[in-house]
Amino acid sequence: MKPEVQANKVVVLSGSGLSAESGLPTFRDAQGLWNSHSWQELASPDGWRRHPGTVLEFYNERRRKAWEAQPNAAHLAIAALQEHFDVVVVTQNVDALHERAGSRNVLHLHGELAFARSTSESPQRVRIDDAPIALGQVGSDGTQLRPDIVWFGEQTQYMTEARWHVATASKVLVVGTSLSVQPAASLVNAARGRAEKLLVSLEMERVPYGFRYQQGLATQRVPVIVEGWLAQPG
C-alpha cells in the first residue's frame, strides 16, 4: 500500500547546479572538478588509503570555498516555503547552503562538508563547520578523521527516508540537477501522479514522466515558483 499524500508537504530535490549559482564548481560539467582532478584519487576509499593527506587537502579547499559562498535567491526562496508548507529538502550537495539560507529539514544524500567522521568500524561523526581536517587529527575513538562525504563505491545515505518523503509530497520541485547520478536520480520515480511536479534545470536530456520542465537558472525560476505556491489559497 502506498503512503498517503500529505496536502501541505513540499519536497525539494536539489543538485549541484543550484550551488553553482552561488559560485561553487560542479563535478561533472565541462568545467567540472572531475575534469581537472581524478575521482579515483580524491573520492574513493582506495584513494584515501593511498594518500590521505592529498584527499584532506582537496576537501579542506572545497570546504573553504563552500563557506565563502553565500546562499542564492533560490536557496532563500526554498527556505521561505517553510512559512506555509511542511518542507523537506533532499540534496546531493555537500555544502551547507540550504541550512545557511534557513532550511530546517535537509537530507544530504552524499554527505556534508560541515562534518568529519572517524575511520573505525563504528565511526564517530563530529561537526567541524568550516574548519580543516589535519592528517593525524583523530576522533573520540582514536582513529583518523576523514570528510563525512559519500565517495564512489560507498552507500548513498537516507535513500529509504528520501523516497518516502517524495511519495508523500503533494508538491515536488527538482532543481539544479540533470538527474544523471544514480541512485539519487531514481527518487523522482516515487513522486505520485496527483502531486504537482516541477523540474528546473539549465539542460535536461529526458524529463521524467509527469514533470513540467522549466529551463533556466534556479535563481530566476525558483523564486517565481515559490511565490506562486505561497499565494495559493489554503
- C-beta of residue 195 within 8 angstroms of C-beta of residue 9: no
**Sequence letter at residue 234:** G
What SS3 class is residue 167? Answer: helix
Cell of 129: 563547520
If we measure between CA atoms, which residue out of 227, 228, 204, 229 comes closest to residue 215?
Answer: 204
Q: What is the maximum alpha-carbon separation in the chain?
A: 58
Cβ atoms 122, 9 nearer than 8 A:
no
SS (H, E, C) 4-57: CCEEEEEEEEECHHHHHCCCCCCCCCCCCHHHCCCHHHHCCHHHHHHCHHHHHH
> What distance in Å separates the CA atoms of residue 153 and residue 139, rounded to the nearest whole number?
23
Q: Which residues are catalytic?
A: 110
Rg (CA), the chain: 18
What DSSP string describes 168-191? TEEEEEEES--S-STTGGGGGGGS
Give the number of other Cβ atoms within 10 Å of residue 24's Cβ.
19
